[in-house]
Chains A and B, each alone.
Chain A
Amino acid sequence: MATIAPPIATAKSVSPTWRRFHEAFRRHPTALIGGAILFVMIAMAIFAPWLHTIDPQQVFPIKRLRPPSATSWFGTDMLGRDVYSRVIYGARVSLVVGLAVALLSTLLGLAIGLVTGYLRRLDAVVMRIMDGLMSIPSVLLAIALMALTKASMGNVIVAITIAEVPRVVRLVRSLVLTLREQPYVEAAIASGTTLSLVLLRHILPNIVAPLLVQGTYVCGSAMITEAILSFIGAGTPPNIPSWGNIMAEGRSLVQIASYLIIFPGIFLSLTVLAVNLLGDGMRDALDPRLARRM
Chain B
Amino acid sequence: MTAYIVRRLFSTIVVMAVVAFVVFSLLYLTPGDPAAVIAGDIATDEDIQRIHERLGLDQPFLVRFGGWLGSLLHGDLGTSIFTNLPVTQLIAQRVEPTVSLTLCTLVVAILIAVPLGVVAAAKAGTWLDRAVMSFSVLGFSVPVFVIAYALILSFAVELDWLPVQGYSNLRDGLWEWLRHLVLPSIALGTVYVALIARMTRASMLDVLAQDYIRTASAKGLAPNQVLTRHALKNAAIPVITIIGMGVALLISGAIVTETVFALPGIGRLTVDAILRRDYPIIQGVILIFSAVYVLVNLAVDLSYVFFDPRIRY
Contact = CB atoms under 8 A, between A and B. Distances in A.
A267 B140 CA distance: 15
Interface in A251-294: 251, 254-255, 258, 261-262, 265-266, 268-269, 272-273, 276-277, 280, 292-294
B198 A294 contact: yes
Given A147-B277, A231-B256, A232-B259, A135 B202 contact: no
Contacts of B283: 144
Contacts of B274: 143, 146-147, 232-234
Contacts of A136: 19, 22-23, 286, 289-290
A137 B277 contact: no
B282 A144 contact: yes
B202 A294 contact: yes
B294 interface: yes
Nearest to A256: B157
B270 A132 contact: no
Given A254-B149, A265-B150, A276-B141, A145 B30 contact: yes
Nearest to A260: B149
B81 to A, nearest CB: 11
A293 B202 CA distance: 5
Contacts of B248: 137-138
Nearest to A247: B145
Contacts of B22: 129, 132-133, 136
Contacts of A268: 143, 146
Interface residues on A, range: 35 or more
A163 to B, nearest CB: 10
Interface string B197-216: 01000100110000000000
A149 B30 contact: yes
Interface in B5-48: 14-19, 21-23, 26-27, 30-32, 34, 37-38
Contacts of B260: 251
A199 interface: no
B227 interface: no
B252 A139 contact: yes
Contacts of B19: 132, 135-136
Interface residues on B, range: 35 or more
A236 to B, nearest CB: 14
Contacts, number: 153
A148 B37 contact: yes
B285 interface: yes
B251 interface: yes
B15 A149 contact: no
Contacts of B107: none
> Which residue among B14, B32, B146, B248 has the maximum number of chain A CB atoms within 10 Å of its CB?
B146
B170 to A, nearest CB: 25
Contact of A272 (B34, B143, B251, B255): B143
Contact of B206 (A144, A148, A293): A293
Contact of A228 (B149, B152, B256): B256
B137 interface: yes
> Which residue among B138, B140, B249 has the maximum number of chain A CB atoms within 10 Å of its CB?
B140
Interface in A233-251: 233-234, 247, 251
B142 A269 contact: yes
Contact of A135 (B34, B256, B293): B293
Interface in B200-258: 202, 205-206, 248-249, 251-252, 255-256
Nearest to B274: A234
A231 B259 contact: yes
A292 B128 CA distance: 17
B15 A132 contact: yes
A235 to B, nearest CB: 10
Nearest to B12: A135
A186 interface: no
B143 A224 contact: yes
A269 B282 contact: no
Given A145-B26, A147-B279, A137 B18 contact: no
Contact of B143 (A251, A269, A292): A269
A220 B140 CA distance: 9
Contacts of A129: 18, 22
> Which residue among A232, A234, A273 has the maximum number of chain B CB atoms within 10 Å of its CB?
A232
A77 B37 CA distance: 30
A11 to B, nearest CB: 35
Which 6 residue pairs are nearest across A and B when measured between Cβ atoms? A132-B18, A139-B252, A273-B141, A265-B146, A148-B30, A137-B248
19 contacts: A132-B21, A132-B22, A135-B15, A143-B270, A144-B283, A145-B30, A148-B30, A220-B140, A224-B143, A228-B143, A254-B152, A261-B149, A265-B143, A265-B149, A268-B143, A272-B140, A272-B141, A293-B206, A294-B202
Given A147-B38, A147-B274, A293-B205, 5 more contacts: A129-B22, A131-B15, A133-B18, A255-B164, A273-B141
Interface of B: 14-19, 21-23, 26-27, 30-32, 34, 37-38, 137-138, 140-146, 149-150, 152-153, 157, 164, 198, 202, 205-206, 248-249, 251-252, 255-256, 259-260, 270-271, 273-275, 277, 279, 282-283, 285-286, 289-290, 293-294
